[in-house]
């Protein structure tokens, strides 16, 4: 082993060969252990740095790609008349959420809030623990949605920019559902499933109605609490031939 190292040095170091003592001295076992330990620490630091880059940048790249593909698929299906009336075909996504206050593009809405769904950069409607009411059903209830705050498309990153009175528009194949924000809960426990109730009492509502609830994590970059935004259905517009958006989106 020592012999190999020596030949290596002679072969590849040229100038060092004339100063053999400096290059060839073998470090003691303690120096060796300290070096390896130090390098492990540096490595751990680099890996953590890479993890931050992965979380905040790479997952967005992957998610935006996936969301774009799935959104194109849904638009394509709509354009070719696939998907049932009212778009109750939920396999690829049921529609798009437009929130001008969040200053992002449309967000595709799919069924379920598992990581597998949400990591594609879409918003998911709850099936568990409280089943979401879908606006297309026409029944009173709460259309509850979740999406990522950071990474994985960060569809709800700017949720804190939403103010009372702002519009939330949900677009399906043949209807625009225009909601108006009336309640915001900037911080609540992640166990507070009552915010998803058909009549979310915490928002101040007592009677059944057509509500929408957006949930995501807060503060940014952590998952300590949940941020909740409530809206109530204001009106429903039919989609025309050009898909002209309602005035809130113009």
- Binding residues vs another protein (CB under 8 A): 5, 8-9, 12-13, 15-16, 18-19, 22-23, 25, 27, 31-32, 35-36, 38-40, 47, 50-51, 54-55, 58, 113, 115, 118, 126, 128-129, 146-152, 156, 188-193, 195-196, 215-217, 221-223, 226
Q: Is 217 a catalytic residue?
A: yes
Least separation in angstroms between CB 240 and another protein: 34
Nearest to 134 by CA among 80, 92, 170: 170
d(CA 202, CA 223): 21
Least separation in angstroms between CB 36 and another protein: 5
Burial category of 140 from C-beta neighbours within 10 Å (exposed 0-12, middle 13-18, buried 19 and up): middle
Q: Which of 148, 152, 157, 210 is catalytic?
A: 148
50/88 with CB nearer another protein: 50
d(CA 22, CA 235): 82
Least separation in angstroms between CB 250 and another protein: 30
46/79 with CB nearer another protein: 46
Least separation in angstroms between CB 205 and another protein: 17
What does the angle CA 167 – CA 168 – CA 171 come to, to the nearest 5 degrees?
Answer: 130
Least separation in angstroms between CB 75 and another protein: 25
51/137 with CB nearer another protein: 51
151/246 with CB nearer another protein: 151
173/205 with CB nearer another protein: 205
d(CA 155, CA 163): 17
Tell me the catalytic residues: 148, 217
């Amino acid at each position: 082993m020592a012999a190999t190292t020596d030949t290596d040095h002679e072969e590849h170091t040229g100038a060092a060969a004339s100063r053999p003592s400096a290059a060839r001295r073998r470090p003691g076992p303690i120096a060796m252990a300290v070096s390896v330990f130090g390098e492990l620490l540096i490595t751990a630091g680099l890996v953590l740095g890479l993890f931050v880059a992965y979380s905040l940048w790479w997952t967005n790249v992957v998610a935006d790609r996936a969301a774009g593909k799935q959104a194109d698929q849904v638009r394509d299906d709509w354009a070719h008349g696939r998907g049932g009336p009212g778009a109750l075909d939920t396999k690829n996504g049921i529609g798009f959420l437009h929130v001008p206050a969040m200053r992002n593009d449309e967000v595709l809405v799919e069924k379920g809030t598992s990581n597998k769904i949400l990591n594609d950069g879409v918003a998911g409607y709850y099936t568990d623990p409280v089943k979401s009411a879908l606006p297309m059903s026409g029944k009173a209830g709460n259309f509850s949605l979740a999406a990522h705050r950071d990474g994985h498309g960060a569809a709800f990153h700017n949720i804190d920019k939403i103010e009372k009175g702002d519009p939330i528009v949900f677009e399906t194949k043949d209807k625009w559902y225009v909601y108006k924000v009336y309640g915001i809960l900037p911080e609540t426990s992640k166990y507070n499933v009552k915010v998803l109730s058909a009549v979310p009492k915490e928002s101040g509502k007592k009677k059944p109605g057509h509500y929408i609830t957006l949930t995501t994590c807060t503060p940014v970059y952590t998952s300590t609490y949940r941020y909740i935004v409530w809206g109530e259905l204001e009106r429903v517009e039919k989609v025309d031939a050009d898909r002209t958006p309602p005035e809130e989106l113009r």
